[in-house]
Structure 1
């Protein structure tokens, strides 16, 4: 928890995730962890998507923060509203709901669907998260769709697309991928400095136009451990 990990690293795309959480109980092997934010680097741009820290959750209040190159993105309210960047051609953000749910698209590169959700009192009770009234641990639920990856793509999630990768679990089954701390740990959200980083800020080799499987990444397993993704 409270660390950054490389999710995808490609020559012209790098995505880190920041994990927040609760310290583990003595009987558990891992902390409870959730993805609070992601930092996306493409071309020369940096895009931040993050869940605000919230005490009391309100579905009508937008708790999703968006920044492009350190500048806040002011996304007008209302379902279906689109925002397109003047400084980053091909970048479009669309609201899926009135608040807390968007799609982020860079043409011919990727589509990310992000939704901010809290840990509810019922979830906390069932899974014994012991969430307190001062922080509902708002976090991101994410879907990734990629259109141009090379066979050498890496990262916690990216490695599953690389040539020759053999998943230890069946496709469609919950896949905890919070392993490989030594290879995938990053110094901060926008540092492409994990040991397997490939980011160069430009495309070198890719498989443009290939229909890669969509990946849905939730807040973790039922026990709240790591990030769980399904293809």
Structure 2
């Protein structure tokens, strides 16, 4: 056997040994148990063992799936789920920007650069987005991306934004957060956690940098990534990204609890029981309008033409008005969380 053959065999043996070690370590991890503390949940104080495929609730490996128990589901079972936003799942807002509504239909909403738009306007929560973008010569509209989110709930507000990055480096954190107008930082490191003083809002890092999960009790869970516009994307779409700006922006996926039937917003309207989406399923690059209806004056304003649903400080027994689930299919994966 020639020297290259020996080297190849040695590398292959090393890889096989590594795989065996990892499998042995995984097999030795004792599955944790998980429960729900929501009194109305079918899983209330029932301890469920996590699957062997994802034995840990908060795995140390940032690439591993986590054990998850949906307290709002009619089913009482622990499942595995990814810790990053799923840009192809209901409630997603990614790319430039592409949305997937509660009805499962894909649509695009371009808006305008350096302006703000309402994504969700409901009884107890308002979620706005700031768009960044550019318009190359000869185009009639802007290319846009979601740069920041602004949330208002009860008497509180929260912002999450991607900071500008001239040259993208995944090892550098580009997340900026505020709570009630005060800046704060979540400690760098996978699974680091920050909670508001009243514990109603929690941020957990889902990787060492640039990825978090935001949970507002009884209202919404948001998975968010900060990502750049890549050279490949720039070449495919002819964005015209400048050399001194990577256009860092957010990829997000929302999971809502107890939306009211009157919920509004670019994304919110798709969760209305009677909503008829003008973007037909299966149509490539289906663009919907609504700039005038959903434009707000700032990231933390609820003054758009279709934002009358939200009332600052409004709470209904500490939570949102329930939706009429009698007209909904709770098993169709439409992004609406049903519960009994």
TM range (shorter): 0.7 to 0.9
Tell whether the 8 Å contact from 2:226 to 2:250 is kept in structure 1 after alignment: yes
> Residues 172 and 10 from structure 1, CA distance in 2 versus in 1: closer, same or farther, beyond 3 angstroms?
farther
Query: Could you list the runs of 4 or more consecutive aligned residues of structure 1 that deviate by over 2 angstroms after TM superposition?
Result: 168-178, 208-215
For structure 2, which runs of at least 5 residues remain unmatched after alignment? 1-112
Output one character per residue of 1:160-217: Cα deviation in whole Å (capped at 9) or x when no partner: 11131012345687775662111111011111000111211213562279778439xx
Structure 2 counterpart of 1:66: 177
- Matched ranges for 1:36-55 at <5 A: 36-55=147-166
Larger Rg belongs to: 2
Structure 2 counterpart of 1:81: 192
Distance between the aligned counterparts of 1:74 and 1:16, measured in 2? Answer: 21
Distance between the aligned counterparts of 1:177 and 1:71, measured in 2? Answer: 36
> Residues 173 and 73 from structure 1, CA distance in 2 versus in 1: closer, same or farther, beyond 3 angstroms?
farther
Tell whether the 8 Å contact from 1:157 to 1:177 is kept in structure 2 after alignment: no
User: Does the alignment pair 1:166 with 2:276?
Assistant: yes
Distance between the aligned counterparts of 1:81 and 1:32, measured in 2? Answer: 34
The TM-score, its normalising length taken from structure 2, stands at 0.58
Distance between the aligned counterparts of 1:209 and 1:90, measured in 2? Answer: 25
- Matched ranges for 1:85-100 at <5 A: 85-86=196-197, 88-100=198-210
For structure 1, which runs of at least 5 residues remain unmatched after alignment? 216-231
Q: Which has the higher strand share?
A: 1
Distance between the aligned counterparts of 1:152 and 1:208, measured in 2? Answer: 9
Structure 2 counterpart of 1:23: 135
- Matched ranges for 1:103-118 at <5 A: 103-118=213-228
Output one character per residue of 1:105-152: Cα deviation in whole Å (capped at 9) or x when no partner: 011111011110001122212211111121110000000000021100
Tell whether the 8 Å contact from 2:119 to 2:128 is kept in structure 1 after alignment: yes
Tell whether the 8 Å contact from 1:148 to 1:209 is kept in structure 2 after alignment: no
Structure 1 counterpart of 2:85: none
Equivalent position SS for 2:293: helix
Distance between the aligned counterparts of 1:172 and 1:45, measured in 2? Answer: 39
